[in-house]
Structure 1
Amino acid sequence: MTGVQRAAVVLLSLGETQAAEVLKHMGAKEVQKLGMAMASVGGVSRATVGLVFDDFVETLAQPSALGAGADEYIRAVLNQALGEERAGSLIDRILAGRNTSGLDTLKWMEPRAISELVRNEHPQIIAIVMAHLDEDQAAEVLKCLSERVRADVLLRIATLDGIPPNALNELNDVMARQFAGSQNLKSSTVGGVRVAANILNFMDTGQDETILENIRQIDEPLSAQIRDLMFVFDNLVELDDRAIQTVLREVSTDKLALALRGADQKVRAKITGNMSQRAAEILIEDMEARGPVRLAEVEAAQKEILAEVRKMADNGVIQLSAKSEAFV
């Protein structure tokens, strides 16, 4: 058994509450991998369970039936761990992913493989395909495309306002034939400015600005709309406490005091609430002691902190949960 399958056996051996508590400490990708393993594992012998979970082998009544009825168990565990709103799409991907076809099959492919599949297609086709992917996966695919194509594709995603069902079904049929499957799509509502902004939120620092600048040269109002919906300084309030504490260890008090001058009160409370009482007092004193500062200086400090946050997210140190929650 693989490590993920072994972990799935352990979680399936726990109660829903305990399993949910474990999943709370994992990232979205880890939860997805474990959920898929939990959905597929079955026929596990007592001997195998004993090797994986020796201390609990006596409490396992029917280890051979671990996979039976796993779907409802997975729904309950993920809903407790992530909440119904966040878990909803993930559950659909996990449970539906075992029998997917057409466009939905792409959600289970590596980004580079998807980029190779669509590389020679018209940018409009690429845009439709990417609009069906989750934003983080779409961003990874976008990174694999040439710089010349990126802005064109994202602009088309931002201006998508639904396509005729017959055209969408035709595209899906093409994809389905490549994966030996077929299905009909009932919804043709894809894309939009918010989807484009969400995808850019997952791009590497610098790449997003390049794409936005290219779009600005074509359609300045649209570029401004996308930028307005992207992750900004005030969205730091959406990060969990652990992520905020990690960020604070990398940001100087001087820079933080300057950046908070132009921040929402909720952001200030979020920051100070994750500092020691003495550190928070020093930060507030520093802010009060400063004289008038230019708005450009405040914005520059905020951008530097956001750049650090984005770098941490790119390196997997923290997760920008706001990307998946605040803009849906």
Structure 2
Amino acid sequence: MNRILMGKGARTIVEICAGVKPGEQVVIVTEPRQMKIAEVIGSAVDAVGAEPTIAVITPRESDSQEPPATVAAAMKESDVFISAVYTSITHTKAVKNAVANGSRGVMLTQFDEQMLIKSGVNTDFPKVAPICYAVAEALENANEIILTTPHGTNLTMSATGRKSNAMTCMVKPGQFAPVPTVEANVSPLEGTANGTIVANASIPYIGIGVVDEPVTAIVKDGMITSITGGKEARILSDNLASKNDPNVYNIAEIGVGLNPECKFIGSMLEDEGVYGSVHIGIGSSLTLGGNVVAACHYDLIMTDVTLVVDGQTIIKDGEVLVGQTAIETV
């Protein structure tokens, strides 16, 4: 029965998000534990008259590790690639090279069967897109970004000269997007972030998920210098230290979640999309417009945010203030 119910979500991903057309070549990258997801997606690809190829890879040892060279080559030559893996390959050269070659990608990291049945996948993506573009426009080339929350976050950064990303979950050639996390983001200039991050909502990686106790990170000149809190903070701190890579502490991204159907469940692509939330990405920034390659990319998610960009208040106490008129006129 689940397979039947999963079909609707799979069709949304294939037809709306990826915009797959008859005759296109679609590469579905997966790993053994995600095969059910990949097979349902493959059926939806076949149903529109395109040709699916499922590439089953050995699970990566850590997020952001490159897929095999043969799979990376297939992604690059595809019309569409869909990543249905548990360990993320989103922030990799394989993805960057594929989109640079004109492919379009959809990332379904850590999807489970229920996320194809009841999750942010059920949102009206075309209706939400205008607000995503509006927030992305505000973040692009921003000289000063100020992020605060009543939980203790107080972070400033600059994105001067940086392009933003409007991830509407609907991709065009040369684009990729995680689904269902509708988000607008930008990679700040390296070395410009300073202040305090308090992740009070979720760190959907390495077994943490929705946090029981906020995790506090101190940031100086673009790098995290200390992490404090309870159990979750220790897990994050120990994991980052184990990478033996100083770039994992890089402030790589500020992203705004904009999917009204997403809820905090401890899954990366669902949690990051929660409407009005903000996440600070750390580690790799290569696929987001930055220059840093790191051993991982994790996101620290917070709520009740106020976001001010070059003097304009984009979000006030968790309420998104830009793009509303555009949505109303859709």
Same fold at TM > 0.5? no
TM-score (norm 2): 0.27
Which has the larger helix fraction?
A: 1
Which one has a bigger Cα radius of gyration?
Answer: 1
Question: Comparing both structures, which one devotes a greater share of its residues to strand?
Answer: 2
